[in-house]
Amino acid sequence: MGEVRKVQKKLRQIENLEIKISLAPEERFKISRKAELRSRLAELLLQQSGPQYTLGTVAEGNKEKMKRQVVDAPEDLPSQTPTASKIPKGERQPKAQAAPAQQSASQRQTAPGRDGDGDGGARRTQPDTGPQGTRVSDPQPPPAGSDARPATPTTDVGNQPQAEQQDTEFASLKATWEKTKFRLRLLEGHTDIVTCVVAIDNVVISGSRDTTVKVWHVPTATQQRNLGGHSGGVTCLSAPPPEYCRKLARSLSLSEKDRFILSGSADCCVKIWSLSTGQCVKSIYTFNAVTALCFVPEGHGYIIAGSDGGKVQGWSWQTLESCQSINAHHEAVTSIQAQGPLVFSGSVEGDVCVWENLCSEREPLRLLQHWDSQVTGCRGGQGSRLVLSPRGDRLFLGHGRAFIRVLNWRTGSMSRLTNHSSLSGVTDCIHQTPGLLIGSCYDLANGQSTLNMFSLPQCRYVTSLTSADVPRILCFAAWLTGSGGHRWVTGGQSLVVWEQLPASAKQRGDVTVRRDSRLDASLLESEGDTDEDEDSYDEDGEEEKDCQSQDATEGESSSWFRCVLQ
C-alpha cells in the first residue's frame, strides 16, 4: 500500500500543477512523468485486486480492517452515535467509541423506512455560548426525528410492505437511469479554469480564474453577457431567490423582473451584478480574498462569505452594510452552504462549523456546532478542498478522496459512501437535485471523470455517467426543464452542458451509462475506522525531497484551491 499511496500523491501534485497559470522547468518535468506514473499506479492496483485487496477492506500497516456493509438501511448510515461533545474552537475532539452493531443484514432489510432528515433547519437548538461564541454548556440530546435516534425494533412485520415499496421504487429509479441518454454541448468563451457555476432557469452563470463572470443561454448554447470587473480570479457565485431580487430591484429603481448574481473573487471583492443590464450594482471590499459565498434567504436576507484567512463575514441584503465578521477557521474557507436558517462552513484544515441565523441586523450568525478534522476525518493536506452539501441532520462532505463522508452535524457521528471503486478516485464536488445525490469523481490512474448518482434519502447507489470528452469536474449545477428532464452544467478545464434526451429519442447519447457493482454497498465506518489518508504516511527520501521542492516553489499554493487564487 505504501508505494500505491506515493504514486497517488505524486499524481495529485501533478494534477494541481497542471491548472497553474505558469510553470517552472522542474514542474514541467514532473508533469511529463504523468503517463509513466499512471501506468505504474494501474499496475500496482491490478496486483492488489485479488482476494487480499477488496473494496470492503482498508489496509493499515500489516493488518486489514473489514468495513461493515449497509444492505438496506438508508437512514441508519450514522449508526455510530458518539457523545455530542461541543468543543471550544481549537481544541481537539476525542474520537468517539463506536457502539457494536446490533442488527444483522436481514434485520435491516425488514426495518421500517425512516426519513432521517429530521426537521433540519426548522429546529433551532439553543446552546449557551461564551463571549466569543464558544460553547460552555453540556450537549443537548438530539431532537426527535434526527439521524441520531435509536433504531426501531425490526420485528414488526407490519412495516414490511413499506420496505418492499422502497425497494420497488429504487428498482424503478435504477432501471430508468440505466436507459437514460445525455447530449453534451461545450460552452466556449473562458480562457482559464472554470471555478464555479450556478443555474437560473435556462441561464447558466459561470465564474473563472480568467477574472470574468459569463452568462449563457443554455438552449442556444450562446454567451449572453460577459461581466468583467474583477481584477482577480472569480472563486464563487451565488444566486439570491426571485423575491429578494425584487426587493433589491425596487431599492435601485430597476425592473422587478431583474435577477441578480453574487460573485466573490481573489481581488477581495464581493460584487452584485444585474443580469438584465450586465452592470455591477454594488461592490463590497472584504480585505481578504473571497473563497466561498452563499445567500441566506431568511428575514431580510444575508450575504455570507468566507475568506482565504478563515473569516466568515455577513452583510445585510436590506442595507448592504457589514453586520458581522468572525475568525471562524484557522485556514481558508472552501465552502459555505445554507439550509433554512442554518449556515454550514468548511475549511482547508477539514473542520466544519454550523451556524444559526438569528435574523438580526447585528451579528446574525451564532455558532451551534464545531467539528474538527479529528471528527470529520477530512484532514488538510496537499490538494485538500472541503466541499459541503447539507440535507437535514446530515452533511455530505467531499475532500478529494474516493469516499463521500456523511456527518450527522448534531451528534458528530460519521459514515461514508463509496464514490469510487479504488483509492485512486478523487471526489471534487457534491450536488443534490430532486431525488438524487450526485458526486463527481476523477480517476488519478486513467484521467477519467465520472458522475455517480445515489438515491435520496436512502443514499443507495443508482448508476454512473461518464464521457471521454469531459475533463476533471471541479464544479457542478443542475436543474429540471419544463418537461421534467435534467439539465446539468459542469466546469473545470472546460464548461459543458449535459442535456437529457427524451426517452423516445432515436439519436445516440454522448454519455456512457454504466453501473459499477462494487459501489452497490455503502461502506459504514466507526469513528476510529477512518480510511487511509494518502498524505499521512512517511515517505522515502525521494518523495520527501519532491514535496520539499514543490513546497519551495509553490509555498501554500500546491492545492487546487490555492491555484485558483493565483
What is the spatial distance between Cα 208 and Cα 217, in angstroms, rounded to a whole number? 17
In 3-state terms the chain splits into helix, strand, coil percentages (rounded to 5) of 20, 35, 45
pLDDT of residue 134: 39
Residue 80 has pLDDT above 60, yes or no: no
Cα angle for residues 94, 99, 105 (degrees, 5° grid): 140
Task: Name the more confident of 335 and 82.
Answer: 335
**What are the pLDDT digits (tens) for 417-439?**
999 887 788 899 999 998 899 99
pLDDT of residue 205: 97
pLDDT of residue 16: 66
What is the spatial distance between Cα 292 and Cα 387, in angstroms, rounded to a whole number? 10
Average pLDDT in the chain: 76
| CB-based contact 85:412 (threshold 8 Å) | yes
What is the spatial distance between Cα 484 and Cα 180, in angstroms, rounded to a whole number? 13
Task: Give the gyration radius of the chain's Cα atoms.
Answer: 23
Nearest to 452 by CA among 485, 486, 418, 414: 418
- At 352, the pLDDT band (50, 70, 90 cuts) reads very high
What is the spatial distance between Cα 256 and Cα 245, in angstroms, rounded to a whole number? 7
The CB density around residue 194, as the number of other CB atoms within 10 Å, is 26
Q: Which CATH superfamily is domain 178-524 in?
A: YVTN repeat-like/Quinoprotein amine dehydrogenase (2.130.10.10)
Nearest to 312 by CA among 261, 351, 256: 351
**What are the pLDDT digits (tens) for 129-183?**
433 343 333 444 444 444 444 444 444 444 557 888 888 999 999 999 999 999 9
- Give me the residue label for grid cell 473494496: 55
Average of pLDDT values for 16-22? 59
Q: Residue 9: CB partners within 8 Å, gap ≥ 6?
A: 382, 534, 535, 539, 543
What is the spatial distance between Cα 193 and Cα 174, in angstroms, rounded to a whole number? 33
- What are the boundaries of each domain within the chain? 2-53+536-564, 178-524
Please state at what angle helix 25-32 crosses helix 2-18, rounded to 10 degrees: 130
What percent of the chain is predicted at pLDDT more than 70? 69
